Structure 1
Amino acid sequence: MADLLNLLTDIEGVSVGNVTDLSLGSGVTAVVFDEPAIASGVVLGGAPGGRDTALLDPSMTVGTVDALVLSGGSAFGLDAAGGVQAGLREAGRGLQVGTTRVPIVPQAILMDLLNGGNKDWGLQSPYRELGYDAFKAAKKGVFQLGTVGAGTGATTATFKGGLGSASAVSSTGHRIAAIVAVNALGSATIGDGPHFWGAPFERGGEFGGLGLPQQISDRDIAMRLKGVNVTATTIGAIVTDATLTKAEAHRLSILGQDGLARALLPAHLPFDGDTVFAASTGHRPMADMLDFMELCHLATSVMARAIARGIYEASALPVEGAQKAWRDRFPAGR
């Protein structure tokens, strides 16, 4: 097995493509599977936006997906899945339906239309082309985190948001990883300081190694919001090489949402659209239910870690009045 990169691409058969448009202040992330993957998902935010998310319910007929898409652009960004679908169709991929193939590409979007980027794109939004380009850019191995892909225009209550990822290996050798675009109404950091709510889960100083503050005051746990009815939503995916049923993938996505709630305060608000997908490449069978329960436990921790990494690695957008990044405030913490 290849050495771990602490990224979603640690899962065999998974590629990630990011397209970033700094002038637009937005972007697209495509997660592409070499072979159709068992997938499900769960939405806990009060204002979600998605495409083909209903088919992920365990009671629905279609069981596998060819790719997952995370995108900025709010409802306009839903065009991105069409671009990824076009790339898959061009490559001969998709569910066989009679004499044709239909690529299955669920998507979640975040709202980044008010971050100072140029959204005057004319009649057609750019997201279909961005989605196609993200598919074409998909690769295995190392990919950038922070202000890239779906995390390009992301913000939080305290610091610039971004794209994060993290991975882990279970005691029986199953790999599991998360990818997430952090655009929360709430905050990933504690109070006004540099510490992350996800600190208890950190591995190897991946987001600064600062741990938790010595004390957490009432002020630290007071609600911090970037506003009401503004740019919001954290979207992501948990992927494993373990062989799962669709119902098990659904359970894994719920535990991924648990990780979101451990790394962001508050989470799942009425104007968030928090969505987590889960997928299985099926390369490694599980021995018993204990194997699966450990994966559920790890799904929580890798999502929490990925969220903190997304903030830690982000940089401010190159526009006037852009939200400052964590590294702008705490450069010595890197």
Structure 2
Amino acid sequence: MAKHGRYPGFQPGVGNASDARLKSGVTTVLCDASTVAGVQILGGAPGTRETDLLEPHNSVDVVHAVVLSGGSAFGLDAASGVQAALRERGIGLEVGGFRVPIVPSAILFDLRNGGDKDWGRYPPYRELGYEAAQTATADFQLGTIGAGTGALTSGLKGGLGSASTLLDNGVIIGALAAVNPTGSVTTG
């Protein structure tokens, strides 16, 4: 049974794109104009793009999307696909007559999960990012989809998970994670 996430009242939402042959994918959260994001970077070999902008002392105080991607360092290309989709819609920070979509991203390592990684000259993550941006909705799937497609936890399936709450003042607090830890797994 597919699990679904929902951020009530949040538009435009979350989009996923997966490649079954590759056993990898991309998840993006498209944000409205008032979205403020935060980040905590963990892991032994983190890979990120534009997450430094999320520090409170920096001058950029809004994000237009956030991307989670499989593919290790190759997955950082996914943010370029999301930026392209947002730019087509005229969404971005106004900078000297240009619109620059602010799209922080993070990746997880799923290169050794059995998927076909012989993609040729360019990895497919830019196109997967574009597709994820085009499919964003307020209701979205969780589990083995998007950035969680190829996630493994000591040989067990990892995946995409989410939690959110709507406060009395209308503010939504949400968390979205693609989980791919290493180490021992205890069940029961």
Q: What TM-score results when the alignment is normalised by the length of structure 2?
A: 0.91
* Residue type at the aligned position of 1:176: I
Aligned residues, how many? Answer: 186
- Of residues 33, 36, 39, the one that matches 1:35 is 33
**Higher helix fraction (1 or 2):** 1
Query: How many angstroms does 1:177 deviate by?
Result: 2.3
Counterpart contact for 2:28–2:136, Cα < 8 Å: yes
Query: How many angstroms does 1:115 deviate by?
Result: 0.3
Aligned counterparts of 1:11 and 1:44: Cα–Cα separation in 2: 30
- Of residues 98, 113, 116, the one that matches 2:114 is 116
Query: How many angstroms does 1:145 deviate by?
Result: 1.3
The structure with higher relative contact order (CA 8 Å, sep 6+) is 2
Q: What TM-score results when the alignment is normalised by the length of structure 1?
A: 0.52
Aligned counterparts of 1:163 and 1:112: Cα–Cα separation in 2: 13
Query: How many angstroms does 1:12 deviate by?
Result: 2.1
| Distance verdict in 2 for CA 1:167–1:40, change over 3 Å | closer
* Residue type at the aligned position of 1:51: R
Residue 153 (1) aligns with residue 129 (2)? no
Aligned counterparts of 1:124 and 1:174: Cα–Cα separation in 2: 40
**Higher strand fraction (1 or 2):** 2
Query: How many angstroms does 1:38 deviate by?
Result: 1.7
Query: How many angstroms does 1:21 deviate by?
Result: 0.7
Counterpart contact for 2:7–2:172, Cα < 8 Å: no
Could you tell me which residue of structure 2 aligns to residue 184 of structure 1? Answer: 181
**C-alpha RMSD over aligned residues:** 2.0
Identity of aligned pairs, percent?
Answer: 57
Could you tell me which residue of structure 1 aligns to residue 49 of structure 2? Answer: 51
Counterpart contact for 2:8–2:166, Cα < 8 Å: no
Query: How many angstroms does 1:33 deviate by?
Result: 1.1
Structure 1 residues without counterparts, runs of 5 or longer: 196-334
Aligned counterparts of 2:126 and 2:109: Cα–Cα separation in 1: 16
Query: How many angstroms does 1:118 deviate by?
Result: 0.3
Structure 2 residues without counterparts, runs of 5 or longer: none
Aligned counterparts of 1:99 and 1:174: Cα–Cα separation in 2: 32
Aligned counterparts of 2:89 and 2:169: Cα–Cα separation in 1: 35
Aligned counterparts of 1:10 and 1:65: Cα–Cα separation in 2: 19
* Residue type at the aligned position of 1:147: T
